[in-house]
Every structure is written in C-alpha cells, then in structure tokens.
Amino acid sequence: MQDKDKVLIFDTTLRDGEQSPGVALGVAEKLEIARALERMRVDIIEAGFPASSPGDLESVTVIAKELKGSVIAGLARAVPTDVDACWEAVRHAERPRIHVFLSSSDIHIMHQLEKDKERVLEMAREMVARAKKLCDDVEFSPMDATRSVPEYVYRMLTEVIDAGATTVNIPDTVGYAIPEEFGQLLRDIQSNVTNIHKAVISVHCHNDLGLAVANSLTAVQNGARQIETCVNGIGERAGNASLEEVVMSIKTRPDFFGVSTNIDTTHIHRTSRLVSQLTGMAVQPNKSIVGVNAFRHQSGIHQHGITKMRETYEIIDPAVIGLPRGTQLVLNKNSGRHGLKSRLDDLGYEVTTAELDHIFIAFKDLADKKGEIDDRDLDALVSGGRREIEDQFKLDLLQVSCGNQAISTATVRVIGPNGEEKQTSSTGTGPVDAAYRAINELMGVPNQLIEYAVNSVTEGIDAQGEVTVRVDVDGRAFVGRSADTDIVVASAKALMNALNRAMSYMPGHTEREVLSNP
C-alpha cells in the first residue's frame, strides 16, 4: 500500500529523454545513467522501449539484470508483440513493470491509429490484461489525455484498472495543459473513475509551453502520487518535467505540498552532469537547480547578504544537491592513478580498469599541458575516453597549416576497426573546414553539418575547448563531442564521434523509424 504522503519519482531519461533530437546512447552509457538514477533512489526507472529496436531490447535487458533497487519499467504500445518484447526485457528485474500506452484523443485515434473508438478501448483492455498475466506491476497511459474527450478517458481508465493496471498515468503528451485546468482534470478523474482507488495516479508532462513542472506540481496537489520526469528536463521536443525541479520544489516547500519523495537529493548535481556529458545535451547556464549560474551571485548587495547569512538570497543550500562549496580538489601532473581513481569515485563515475588506463594517459597528457585539472576537466576526460574506446573509426593523425596569408590545408589519417589506415589531404576556408573535408572524404558517410559549437571546459587561456557538432545523416541528427587543448583537434574528433554514432545506428535505423515513437 502506498504512503499517501509520498510522491513516487518515475524517471524516463532513458526512454523519453533518449528521444531528444540528436541523442543516441549506447548500452554502457545507459547502464551508467541507470546506476546513477538508482543511487539517487529513483523509485521507477523507465529503461527504454524494447520493441522499438534491438538496441533498446538489449539495454533494457542489461539494466533489468544489473539493477537491484529501483523498479525497472519498459514501454510498450498496445499490441501483443510490444507487450511480449517488453516482458522479455524487464522480466530479469527484481521488480519489473510493463508500461502500456495507447492514444485516447480523437485527433490521434482518427489520424494516427485510424480505428474505431470502441476497438481502441478493447485494445487497451486486452493489452493490459495480457501484460497483467506476465507481470504484476502494470502501468497504463492514455496518450494525449489532455486533448481527449474526458468521458472517454474515464471509460478507458476504468476498463484498464479492471483489467489489472496498478498505475494510471495521465500524459500531457503535447504540453498543452494549463495548471489550473490540469488540476481540474485530475479531480474529475477521481470523481468519475469509480475504481480509481485501486491504482496510483501518475502524470507525464511535456514542456512545450514551459509548464511541465508547474503542471506536475499542480497534479501533486490534486492527488497524483507518481510524477514522470527526466534529468535536466530533456525529452521529446521541448522535453519533459525536470526531475531536479520537481523534486527540489517538493523538498523546498513542504509547508505548501505536505508530501515528500524518496530521492537522495545529494546526487542531483552529479547525475545532471553525467546525463549532460553522455547525451551531449548542454545544460543552459540559468537552468533552475543545475545550471552553472543557479548558485552564483553577481550583484554586490546579494554577495554582501550571502556572506552574512546564506539564506538572504539562497532558498536551497547547494550542499543539498551535492554541489561542493568552496575550493574543489584539484589534481595535477604529480597526481597518481590512485588519486585520479578516488576523485572519479567521488564524482560518481564507475570506470573499468581498461577505461582508467585510457583516462590516466589522457590525464597525464592534459596535466602536462595545463597544470591544474579540476572536476570539469575530469568530466571531459572520462566522456572523451569512453567515446574513443567506443568509436570504431579513430582519428590517428591530424596536421593542419593555416594563417591569414595561407590556404588552409589539413592532412588526416583514420584507422578502421580492423586496423586499416586511410589518409588524405584537403584544403578549405579555414583549418576546421579543411579537416572536415578530409574526414568526410575518408569516412564516406554523406552528412550535413547542422550545428558546431566550441565552449571552454574551464577558465584560462590553457583550457580545453569542448566541441559539440550535430550532423544530419539521412534525415536523422547525430551529436558528436570532443575536448582538447587544441580546438582543431577537438573539432576533428567531434565530427569523427558523430559519424561513428551514425554508422553504428544505421542497421537498426529503418526498423526504428517504421515504429511510431510516442
């Protein structure tokens, strides 16, 4: 029986979050995020959508086998093959959940499903019953609920609860709801769905109007006891309700909400960084709770107040989200493997011996160039090391000549998975353009560069430059990242990373596209 004062956190970073344009996580990256979510004590982790691709089936299976604390959920459309594939993956978990969804709005039913509304109700009932035979814990979502005829949603919910659903989730799929109206919908559901007391009420809010967190919190005030979130608010289009904002609102204002969550908030900061690093989705500086400016005070009056008493201008103690205050431990070229490993442990990274070997070499190289290495450098080294291990095609040599009186020329050599080497030279409008032309010639993956950004990892002229690129390959966006003290090298490696991702994704690509992702 669920405690009525406890709000469960269902995190869908690995499913809806992974649907963010340009994000494609590998199995190892998903497992690492899942472990971080479990350490943060997320109640339910939606690990993926097993029927959508063999890669998703594999990653949900691995997560279900490895994790022990959280409930592991998989998503399934209301069709037998999806429900069975979902069970195949989540059945390995100690506490598995099947999450079935089916559209309830006229616009989806008529134009996407092209089915009769009675038949849709039957599908919902039948697929929840099928899931229930396999798994005790079944969640059902009437997709696009907030644009549906309410009476139809009530009927659908009543029938799926009768068929065995233990959680009913109300999705604001297109981020259309306004808090007041969403609160009313939740109250109406409780008055019109006679068996609602047998299920936990959940909400899943998208952020198209910037209201996902507000709608989720209003839902809590109106009886919801599960909130679906993504770390850093990532997800389809404008994203989902952000985990850190929902959780910290509930924690900061117990006087108002009168409920709590099970989340260990001291893991919020490092989990946010991990998700940002692995997905390649930067966190905007002024993002609530986890943006770099969230605890920075610029105005002299504010700084004065803070030094006298923190609470004058801070409503959250940074330590509560695990943000170190004051001087961070800085490593340098004299630091050994042990010091590096222990700092990586503190930051929440789980690195294998092979990864540590690789990172340690890169660490020494960087420390020689720039002296002091702080946590932001370590983030870049860990994710860079992993990308290099995973990338099948590696940049072996890059040599450029450029200048205001010169024609920029780049020579590039790449090494393929079987050790084969290819080399070419190219000219361009600048060193990055020349390097990109040479790489494209060698890799032979037709693509269009749609975004190129350089950011400094830390302060100082000797800082690493972190390059993020987004390329369009066959209508799909792929992100590549790399950091180096030489930004031309970082640029070349970032493009290589994006093209490697595109190539590894291609076999399952068609299959995934055929499926209509929620």
The option from Zn ion, ligand KIV, none interacting with 143 (CB < 5 to 8 A, set by class) reads ligand KIV
In Å, how far are 24, 103, 248, 257, 259 from 117, measured between CA atoms?
35, 10, 40, 38, 38
Q: Which of 104, 146, 173, 222 binds ligand KIV (CB under 6 A)?
A: 173
Measured CA to CA, the distance from residue 205 to residue 183 in angstroms comes to: 12
Q: How far is CA 458 from the centre of its chain?
A: 23
Closer residue to ligand KIV in complex, CB, 203/483: 203
- Residue ranges of alpha helices (H) inside 193-267 are 212-221, 243-252, 254-257
Interacting partner of 101 out of Zn ion, ligand KIV, none (Cβ under 5 to 8 A depending on kind): ligand KIV
The separation between CA 316 and the C-alpha centre of its own chain, rounded to angstroms, equals 24
Q: Which does 152 bind (CB under 5 to 8 A by kind): Zn ion, ligand KIV, none?
A: none
CB 408 to ligand KIV: min, Å? 46
518 is a contact residue toward ligand KIV (CB under 6 A) = yes
Query: DSSP characters for 317-368?
Result: -GGGGTPPPSPPP-B-TT--HHHHHHHHHHTT----HHHHHHHHHHHHHHHH
What is the rounded (10 degree) CA torsion for 226, 231, 237, 238? 90
> Least distance to Zn ion from the beta carbon of 235, Å?
6
Nearer to ligand KIV, 101 or 393 (CB): 101
* For Zn ion, the closer CB: 40 or 143: 143
Strand partners of residue 452: 469
Report the residue number, 167 or 169, with the smaller CB distance to ligand KIV.
169
Lay out the site mask for ligand KIV across 204-223 (x = CB under 6 A, - = otherwise): x-x-----------------
> Considering the complex, what minimum distance in angstroms separates the CB of residue 13 from ligand KIV?
12
Which among 59-67, 166-174, 371-379, 439-447 is the span making contact with ligand KIV, rule CB under 6 A?
A: 166-174
The CA distance from 198 to 201, in Å, is 10
Residues 6+ apart with CB under 8 A from 326: none
Least CB distance from residue 195 to ligand KIV, whole Å? 21
Closer to Zn ion by CB, 16 or 388: give it. Answer: 16
Cβ-proximal residues to 61 (8 Å cutoff; 6+ apart), any chain = 50, 88, 89, 92
Q: Which residue is nearest to Zn ion (CB)?
A: 16
Q: Between 108 and 386, name the residue whose CB sits nearer to Zn ion.
A: 108
Between 280 and 518, name the residue whose CB sits nearer to ligand KIV: 518
Binding part of the chain for ligand KIV, among 167-175, 261-269, 304-312, 488-496 by CB under 6 A, reads 167-175
According to the binding rule CB under 5 A, does residue 16 interact with Zn ion?
A: yes
Of 13-21, 135-143, 287-295, 483-491, the segment contacting Zn ion by CB under 5 A is 13-21
Q: Which residues pair with 46 in a beta bridge?
A: 73
500 binds ligand KIV per the rule CB under 6 A: no
Task: Examine residue 141 and tell whether it contacts ligand KIV (CB under 6 A).
Answer: yes
Q: Considering the rule CB under 6 A, would residue 140 count as an interface residue with ligand KIV? A: no
Taking phi over 0 as left and psi of -120 to 50 as alpha, with beta for the rest, 322 belongs to left
Number of residues lying near Zn ion (CB under 5 A):
1
Going 58 to 129 to 185 to 97, the CA torsion angle's sign is negative
The single-letter code of the amino acid at 21 is P
Stretch that binds ligand KIV, among 37-45, 111-119, 165-173, 468-476 (CB under 6 A): 165-173
Dihedral angle at the C-alpha atoms of 459, 267, 289, 303, nearest 10 degrees? Answer: -60
Q: Which is nearer to Zn ion, 16 or 43 (CB)?
A: 16
Distance CA 372, CA 374 (A): 6
Member of 101, 140, 154, 505 binding ligand KIV (CB under 6 A): 101
Task: Kindly give the pairing relationship between strand 96-103 and strand 138-143.
Answer: parallel
Rule CB under 5 A: which residues touch Zn ion? 16
Residues in the site for ligand KIV, rule: CB under 6 A? 16, 75, 101, 141, 143, 169, 171, 173, 204, 206, 518
